[in-house]
Homo-oligomer: A and B are copies of this chain.
Amino acid sequence: MYIFAKMNFQMAKKVSISDIAECLGVSKTLVSLVINGKAEQYGINAQTKKRVLDKVEELNYRPNLLAQGFRTGKTNTIGVIVSDIANRFYSRIARKIEDLAWKNGYSVVICSTDENVDKELQQIKLLQERKVDGLIISSSQLDAEFFNTLNDAHFPHVLIDRRFENMTSSSVVIDNQSGAQMAVNHLISQGYRKIGMISITPQHISSIRERVHGFYQAMELAELEVNPLWNIDVPFDNMENEIRNSLQQLHSQHNLPEAFFTLNNNLTSTCLMQLRELSVKIPSDVALIGFDDVLYFDFTNPSITAIEQPVDLISEQAFNLLLKQIKKNDVTKEERSICLPISINIRESTIKR
């Protein structure tokens, strides 16, 4: 098999549809129809069909994908736009999407936005010009209006991880609010009362906003006070320094809360590092729970409790929704807005001894 494939490869010369036609003394049309599986539909003679197919095999014909794409406007390529493909959450999603795409004959073009709107916009435009058949996108800071326009133009696309109010586009997100509540309630059940939160700006990103909302709601329901000093808000591009400074200050004032809830895996890792640096004991001095679980939270010191997102499911649902649009199947109002449940992995960082 391997050797055979390799041979095929070497031979890959440029044989076109008209070469086949000429060889066989038939028309290009016929060849095209057979190749595209429309033989039956057009009532083409079974023998003729076989002759074509055999010749295709013999000459090892491979269609010129560019010509095909040019002609049809279809490229069998989809675009994936996220803030940073090196972030573990997104790289896992990308991997899963790539697998599904491969199985369905699609290639995947990847773009990282760095949470930059202009870059994101340029990337969407470029991908459209490249005539990708669809887009799966975790949008930084565009808005409902923008995607609605895209939707009205019937350009297949699915938003993941983040979405906008009053948006008619398809989307797959997770239940951020419940996730945050689950996190806070777990802390409360362990007896923590003074709870702080470390979040990231820009805060209008829906996933962040909903997590923040969930936090406040859970605190309110438990009739716990939210101390603004314990709510640390850091910018996307200077996380580490800002977290260090804030924690140092609280620590020197002997004013750390009993627990921190961090809003994504990067914040969690950074927070862990900085607390260790300050020799703050986890969880005895300060407990730590994070949104978004990653493999290594299992063997850090201490291991870290985290809210887990169903990465594979997100990818699958998003891909299915996209494929549906590409195949021109209607996506009903009910189908197009998917919200998936989260779960919690409880580990040492929140267990009171």
Partner-B contacts on A (CB < 8 A): 1-2, 5-6, 8-10, 12, 62-67, 69-70, 73, 75, 77, 84-86, 88, 91-92, 94-95, 98-99, 102, 107-112, 117-118, 121-122, 124-131, 146, 149, 269, 272-273, 276, 295-296, 298-302
Q: Cβ of A302: which chain B residues have Cβ within 8 Å of it?
A: 301
Q: A273: nearest residue on chain B (CB-CB)?
A: B299
Complex: how many Å from CA A180 to CA B320? 45
Q: Cβ of A5: which chain B residues have Cβ within 8 Å of it?
A: 118, 121-122
Q: Is the interface of A mostly helix, strand, loop or mixed?
A: helix
Count of identical protomers in the assembly: 2
Given A9-B121, A108-B109, list of 8 further CB < 8 A pairs? A63-B129, A65-B130, A69-B70, A85-B94, A85-B98, A86-B92, A94-B110, A98-B110
Q: Report yes or no: B130 in contact with A66, Cβ–Cβ below 8 A.
A: yes
Q: Cβ of A146: which chain B residues have Cβ within 8 Å of it?
A: 6, 9
A149 to chain B, nearest CB (A): 6
Complex: how many Å from CA A86 to CA B87? 9
Q: Report yes or no: B9 in contact with A125, Cβ–Cβ below 8 A.
A: yes
Query: Can you name 23 A-B residue pairings with CB atoms under 8 Å?
Result: A1-B118, A2-B118, A2-B121, A5-B118, A5-B122, A6-B146, A9-B124, A64-B129, A65-B130, A66-B73, A66-B130, A85-B91, A85-B98, A86-B88, A86-B94, A99-B112, A109-B109, A269-B296, A269-B299, A272-B299, A276-B299, A296-B296, A299-B301
Complex: how many Å from CA A75 to CA B64? 13
A221 to chain B, nearest CB (A): 33
Q: Cβ of A85: which chain B residues have Cβ within 8 Å of it?
A: 85, 91, 94-95, 98
Q: A142: nearest residue on chain B (CB-CB)?
A: B6
Contact of A91 among B67, B70, B86, B131 (CB under 8 A): B86
Q: Report yes or no: A98 in contact with B112, Cβ–Cβ below 8 A.
A: yes
Complex: how many Å from CA A123 to CA B124? 25
| Known contacts A108-B109, A301-B301; is-contact A10 B91 (Cβ 8 Å) | no
Contact of A129 among B62, B118, B121, B296 (CB under 8 A): B62
Q: Report yes or no: B95 in contact with A84, Cβ–Cβ below 8 A.
A: yes
Q: A277: nearest residue on chain B (CB-CB)?
A: B299
Q: Report yes or no: A12 in contact with B125, Cβ–Cβ below 8 A.
A: yes
Q: A95: nearest residue on chain B (CB-CB)?
A: B86
Q: Cβ of A98: which chain B residues have Cβ within 8 Å of it?
A: 85, 110-112
Q: Report yes or no: A131 in contact with B9, Cβ–Cβ below 8 A.
A: no
